[in-house]
Amino acid sequence: MTCHTCINAEDGRLSCLSRVPVFTQLSDAEVDLLHSVMQTSHYHKGEFIFREGDRSDSLFVLNRGIIKLTKLEDNGKEHILRLLFPGDFFGQFALLQEKPHYASAQAADTTDVCRIYRKDFLDILRRSPDTAARFMTALSGQLEEADGWAAVLTLLEADRRLAKMLLYFRQKFDPSSAEFTLPVSKKELAGMIGATPETLSRKLRQLTENGIIAVSNRKLRIIEEAALRRLAGEISPQSDNI
């Protein structure tokens, strides 16, 4: 595990507590308890928080940046399972199941990660059934999202899968802005939607030629959202500008 800078700054811990839904609505005593056991680490783009097959004893909460959850395919190629955004927690599989991590967590950007050790985490769950219930709710939400992705991935048309992914990115970054930077390379994006890099390039070119998006390197702007939503199948071809 690479940890570029490990800090215990009050700021980092406070913002983990305030921005992560699992930890909101805590009592003062619970906040004090969490404060005392939380450590903040900083990772540069490309650094691993943990690798597939590692064992670890911590729950991680992403406070700033984006993390790629990746898995080695049978052919040795790395594949992105999903992305984690601020407020998401991860690593609970190795912690709860006491098994090696089934995926690697790698910083896709400059990231701050809060870490709680196993024993402290289980202590908190034991002392605070409300926190335990919120943690289950959040886990259940992650499962719902994973199920949703599986449904997208079985869509037969690559352009529908791409349209869904671009709308997902837009919503995850800043729903008020039509512009965002792709958090992964185009090759990785192709892997995420089950398409070849050539198919992805062709589909992006078609979307650009049709005036639906504009792409410049990794910067992407959605120009015609209604058209993209129609392509994703979210609105019917008859209804316009919903």
Least distance from its own copies to the Cβ atom of residue 6, Å: 26
SS3 of residue 228 by DSSP: helix
Using CB under 8 A, which of the segments 38-46, 107-115, 169-177, 186-194 binds its own copies? 186-194
Question: How are beta strands 48-50 and 104-107 bridged, if at all?
Answer: antiparallel
Pick from 62, 7, 85, 71: which is nearest to 39 by CA?
7
The only residue of 1, 6, 9, 146 in contact with its own copies, by rule CB under 8 A: 146
Binding to its own copies (CB under 8 A) within 2-61 occurs at none
Binding to its own copies (CB under 8 A) within 82-141 occurs at 82, 92-93, 96-97, 102-103, 122, 125-126, 129, 132-133, 135-137, 139-141
Q: What amino acid occupies position 169? A: F
Pick from 91, 80, 107: which is nearest to 55 by CA?
91
Instruction: Please answer whether residues 92 and 139 qualify as being in contact, where contact means their C-beta atoms are separated by less than 8 angstroms.
Output: yes
- Interface with its own copies, residue 171, by CB under 8 A: no
The only residue of 14, 31, 109, 149 in contact with its own copies, by rule CB under 8 A: 149
CA gap 76, 226 in Å, rounded: 39
Least distance from its own copies to the Cβ atom of residue 216, Å: 26
Using CB under 8 A, which of the segments 18-26, 50-58, 74-82, 180-188 binds its own copies? 74-82
CA gap 220, 144 in Å, rounded: 27
Using CB under 8 A, which of the segments 17-25, 180-188, 190-198, 219-227 binds its own copies? 190-198
SS3 of residue 132 by DSSP: helix
- Interface with its own copies, residue 64, by CB under 8 A: no
Residue closer to its own copies (CB basis): 7 or 37: 37
Tell the burial category of 34 from Cβ atoms under 10 Å away from its Cβ (0-12, 13-18, 19+). Answer: buried
Using CB under 8 A, which of the segments 37-45, 175-183, 216-224, 227-235 binds its own copies? 227-235
- Interface with its own copies, residue 172, by CB under 8 A: no
CA gap 141, 182 in Å, rounded: 24
The only residue of 156, 175, 198, 238 in contact with its own copies, by rule CB under 8 A: 156
Question: How are beta strands 104-107 and 67-72 bridged, if at all?
Answer: antiparallel
Residue closer to its own copies (CB basis): 1 or 153: 153
